[in-house]
Amino acid sequence: MPRPLLGVPCYGSRFLWVVCLTLFPFFACAQGQQTGHVTIPYPPGSPSPTNEIPGSGEGANPPVTSVPVTLKQAVQLALRQNPEVLIAKIAVSQSDRAKAEAMAALLPQADLAAREAVIRFNVQSIIDLPPIGIGPRPLRIGPFQSETGGALFSQQLLNLGLIRRYQIGRQNVTTARFDESAAREQITTAVVTQYLSVLEAMANETAVAARVALAQRLFDQAQRLEKTGVGTAIDTLRAQVELQDEKQRLIDARTQKSTGVYVLAELLDLPRDQEPQPTDTMQYSELPKFDRQQLISQALEDRPEFKALMSRQRQAELSDKAAAEQRLPTFGFSGFYEYQARRLDVGEPGYTYAFTLQVPLWTSGRIRAEIAQAHLEEERLAEERQNLENTITRQVKTSLDQLEAARNAVEVANLGLKLAQDEVARAERRFGAGVTTNIDVITAQDQLARADDNQIGALFRFNQARADWARAEGNAEDVYAR
């Protein structure tokens, strides 16, 4: 007869203590990996770390430091620490982890298991006993302790759904990498555009400052001529009005430069006590001859957005196959080897193994709906691909036209600036000789201001068109960061 539960030595409690002490290091290690917390001992007498931000105390006002950067350095810095680039890089890591998770489902699985139970059951439920007296009579056994422990293992032998899931995960990693490249191209273009905007603002500030100095000199000249009786008060007044206008333009130019620097600092993710100081200048160079059709074909091959979309189409095809293959059977293997005993010191090994074949017969239309959904996703991505092809074609053609127009505009603006400078010099000499009033001088100054703006704007548009062309071709990072 089995021994009753009452009065039995507590072998089960000792068994649980052994299991807990054995598995405790694994639980502790897993908990440390989850929290990521490591306590670092500090030497005696050293100050304990705090969460206070340096310089955030009361009355702290750290000075702003200018950081000289070239265009190449600015792009490299943004690609290294801009949040959008880092987010895209994290997405690649997440996709890689998801791929590893899908692959793990195809590999063997093993677990450790232990159990202590109190059992009582009716023997009649498992053994056909002869009737005793009138009718069958139940025969109770227990309660008694039961202790088991061993290893569980399983392996998928044939499961096309899990195989497709792994293939989709692998393709998703490829898509994430192309998305990261697209994000890097986008940030590169944004940094180049903002850097050029700051250079334009700096050039405007320099040009306006030179015009302020010119207006101040002409105003002083008008005052001298008025005192000597050669000039008139209206000449002095005109010169003073022009001087104030140029001073106002200088204020606007400085504000535009400072606000542009703030945006550039945000793109570079600089600390709040640092500001970038561009050191390059806007350049002009001759352009080679272009084959438009060849450039469009090359852009369709190199653009990371187009590659990412093609990768998504491949994912959609795999999802379509995975949905259809759910109707196929799956074949697996599982087993359990354990030590069975009523007491820890008396027992026998036992095992179970099984092959499983599963064939879906009726899913209430779920598989058909998933196949239809996969087909719709393929159609949507096909339309997106056509739309993206049209967009890339338009961007390449537009950037080439703008680049050619900007090149011609720079040549015209350079000539216009030289003519405006000559006009100011001649008008100044005529006014100084008393031949004419300073109306010609003021008119020449206005012409010079427009010529300055045209020349600076043309240079900016030329450099911006080059950046747009590199972006349209999908090689902005290669051009500006390497």
Sort strands 274-278 and 65-69 into parallel, antiparallel or unpaired: parallel
Model pLDDT for residues 129-146, shown as the tens digit of each residue: 565 554 556 667 777 777
Task: Identify the pLDDT of residue 337.
Answer: 83
With the C-alpha atoms ordered 166, 170, 172, 173, is the resulting torsion angle positive or negative? positive
Q: Measured between alpha carbons, how far apart are the two ends of the chain, in Å?
A: 85
C-alpha distances (whole Å) from 141 to each of 279, 310, 344 are: 91, 67, 20
Q: Please report how many Cα atoms fall inside a 13 Å half-sphere around the Cα of residue 202, on the Cβ side.
A: 15
* Domains of the chain as residue ranges with CATH: 66-123+145-477 (1.20.1600.10)
Chain mean pLDDT for the chain: 81
Query: 343: which 2 tokens?
Result: 């007491």
Place of tokens 């354990």: 338
Query: 129: which 2 tokens?
Result: 């006993």
Residue type, 228: T
Q: What torsion, rounded to 10 degrees, do the Cα atoms 202, 205, 210, 216 define?
A: -160
Alpha helices, DSSP H, located in 105-159: none
C-alpha distances (whole Å) from 168 to each of 26, 101, 155, 164, 226 are: 33, 12, 21, 6, 85
Model pLDDT for residues 219-253, shown as the tens digit of each residue: 888 888 888 887 788 888 988 998 999 899 999 99
Query: 298: which 2 tokens?
Result: 């090359």
What's the rounded Cα separation, in Å, for the pair 196 and 464? 7
Alpha helices, DSSP H, located in 45-159: 71-81, 83-104
Q: How far is CA 134 from the centre of its chain?
A: 80
Q: What are phi and psi for residue 278, nearest 5 degrees?
A: -60, 135
What's the rounded Cα separation, in Å, for the pair 439 and 424? 11
**Quick check: 86 pLDDT over 80?**
yes
What's the rounded Cα separation, in Å, for the pair 132 and 139? 11
Model pLDDT for residues 237-296, shown as the tens digit of each residue: 988 998 999 899 999 999 999 999 999 999 999 998 899 999 998 888 877 787 888 899
Model pLDDT for residues 402-452, shown as the tens digit of each residue: 988 998 899 899 899 899 889 888 888 887 777 777 788 888 888 888 888
Sort strands 140-158 and 109-122 into parallel, antiparallel or unpaired: antiparallel
Q: What is the pTM of this model?
A: 0.74
What's the rounded Cα separation, in Å, for the pair 120 and 3? 12
What's the rounded Cα separation, in Å, for the pair 74 and 195? 8
Model confidence band, residue 22 (pLDDT cutoffs 50, 70, 90): very low
Model pLDDT for residues 171-195, shown as the tens digit of each residue: 999 999 999 999 999 999 999 999 9
Q: How far is CA 41 from the centre of its chain?
A: 36
Q: Is residue 260 within a helix (H) or strand (E), and if so which, with residue range?
A: helix 233-268
C-alpha distances (whole Å) from 41 to each of 31, 45, 46, 298, 349 are: 20, 12, 10, 58, 48
> Count of residues for the chain?
482
Kindly state the average pLDDT of the residues 454-476. Answer: 91
Radius of gyration of the chain (CA): 40
**Buried b / exposed e across 128-137, counting CB within 10 Å, b at 16+?**
eeeeeeeeee
Q: How far is CA 153 from the centre of its chain?
A: 40
Residue type, 424: V
The percentage of residues in the chain with a pLDDT greater than 90, rounded to a whole number, is 39
Model pLDDT for residues 345-403, shown as the tens digit of each residue: 777 788 888 888 888 888 888 889 989 999 999 999 999 999 999 999 999 999 999 98
Q: Which residues contact 5 (CB under 8 A, 6 or more apart)?
A: 118, 142, 143, 144, 145
